[in-house]
Structure 1
Amino acid sequence: MTLRATSPRRQRLFRRLARDERGVSAIEFALVAPLVFILILGTVEVALDMIVDASVQFAAQQASRAGLTTVVPSSGTRDAEARRIVYTILGGWRNIGGTVDIGTRAYSTYNDIAAGNYQETMGGFGDVVLYNISVTMPTFSGIPKLFGIETMTFQRSYLVQNEK
C-alpha cells in the first residue's frame, strides 16, 4: 500500500476552492472592521478631549479676567465670582464624573514668584495672581485605557497682575 500526498480528487477540490471568490468580502471586512472601529472611536476621543481642553482654557481666561479687576462684583467676592464663572463653564464635565480644581496664589511682586512668597487668595491692588484650573475626568471611549490611561487631566495656568 502506497501513500500519496494528495489524491487527484483533492487536487481538483483545492484548485476549485482557490479560484472561488465567494465570501472574500466578508473575510476582508472581518479583518479590517476592528481597526476601522478603533480608529473612529480614537478620533471621537481626541475630538472630545480637545473640546474639554478648550473649555478649560476659556474658563481660566474668564476667571482671570474676573479676578483682574479690583471691583467687587454684586454677586459677592471676586473669588466667588471667579469660581462661579469656572463652574458655569466647566460644570457639564463634573456631571460625567469629572472633578474641577481651582487654585489661586497671590504674590506681591513678580520677584516673589521665584521666592515662593504667596497667599492663597486673589490678591489686592497691583498683586500678581496665578490662576490654576484643572479638570480630571475618565476617558470617553475607553480607547486610552488600552494604553493604561485611566483618567485625563486638562490644566491651564494664568499669571496676571491685578489693576492698581
Structure 2
Amino acid sequence: MRAPSPRNSRFWPRFTRDERGASAIEFAIVAPLVFILILGTVEVALDMIVDASVQYAAQQASRAGLTTANPSSGTRSQEAANIVNNILGGWTKINGKVDIKTYAYSSYNDISAGNYQNTMGNFGDVVLYQITLTMPTFSGIPKLFGIETMTFQRNYLVQNEK
C-alpha cells in the first residue's frame, strides 16, 4: 500500500476534514499562556500582600515613636525596629532585606529645606519613617521582564506629641 502524499488527490479532502488531535494542538498552543497568566496573577497578589505589610509596619513603627516616651526595654528606635522586624520578619526569611530610616525635622518647613537629624526626634518634632523591603520575586514571571528583585517602600510622616 502506498503512503498518502500531497500529490494524491484523495489525501487533502480527507486530511482537512479530520479533527483528531485538534484539541491537543490547541492545548499545546494555549497552555503556556494560561500558566503564565496564572503565575502572574499569583505574583501580583503576593506583591500586594507584601506592600500592605510594609504599609502596616510603617504605621506601627511611627506609633511607637510618636509618644517620645522611652519604652520599658530599650530606646524608641529599637522599639520601632522590633515592631518592623516582627511584622516583616516572615518576608526576610525568603532572602528579604529590611531597611529602617528615620529623619527628624524641627518643623514641617524644614522638610523642604532638608534640615534633618537621624533620630526619632523630640517633643513636637516632625519625623519621617522610611521603611524599605527588598526581596526576590516569588515566581519567575518578573524575571522574564528583567526584574530580579522587588522593592517595597513606605514613608510615614508624623509629628511627635508635645
Q: SS where residue 61 of structure 1 aligns? A: helix
Q: SS where residue 100 of structure 1 aligns? A: strand
Q: SS where residue 147 of structure 2 aligns? A: coil
Q: Structure 1, residues 74-101: CA drift from partner, whole Å, max 9, x if none?
A: 1211111000000000011111011100
- 1:129 matched to 2:138: no
Aligned-residue identity in percent: 78
Residue in structure 2 matched with residue 14 of structure 1 by the alignment: 12
Q: Residue 138 of structure 1: which of 136, 139, 162 is its match?
A: 136
Distance 1:151 1:76 in 2: 33
Residue in structure 1 matched with residue 90 of structure 2 by the alignment: 92
Distance 1:56 1:126 in 2: 25
Residue in structure 1 matched with residue 63 of structure 2 by the alignment: 65
Distance 1:110 1:35 in 2: 50
Amino acid of the residue matched to residue 12 of structure 2? F
Residue in structure 2 matched with residue 156 of structure 1 by the alignment: 154
Q: SS where residue 10 of structure 2 aligns? A: helix
Query: Which segments of 5 or more consecutive residues in structure 2 lack a partner in the other structure?
Result: 1-5
Amino acid of the residue matched to residue 161 of structure 1? Q
Distance 1:142 1:124 in 2: 46
Amino acid of the residue matched to residue 59 of structure 1? A
TM-fit CA distance, 1:159: 0.8
Distance 1:120 1:159 in 2: 14
TM-fit CA distance, 1:17: 1.2
Distance 2:9 2:64 in 1: 82
Distance 2:110 2:126 in 1: 9
Distance 2:9 2:150 in 1: 58
Count of aligned positions: 157
Cα RMSD between the aligned structures? 0.9
Q: SS where residue 11 of structure 1 aligns? A: coil
Q: Runs ≥4 in structure 1, deviation > 3 angstroms?
A: none
Distance 1:11 1:37 in 2: 41
Q: Structure 1, residues 51-81: CA drift from partner, whole Å, max 9, x if none?
A: 0000000000000000001221112111110
Distance 2:143 2:33 in 1: 16
Q: Residue 111 of structure 1: which of 106, 109, 112 is its match?
A: 109
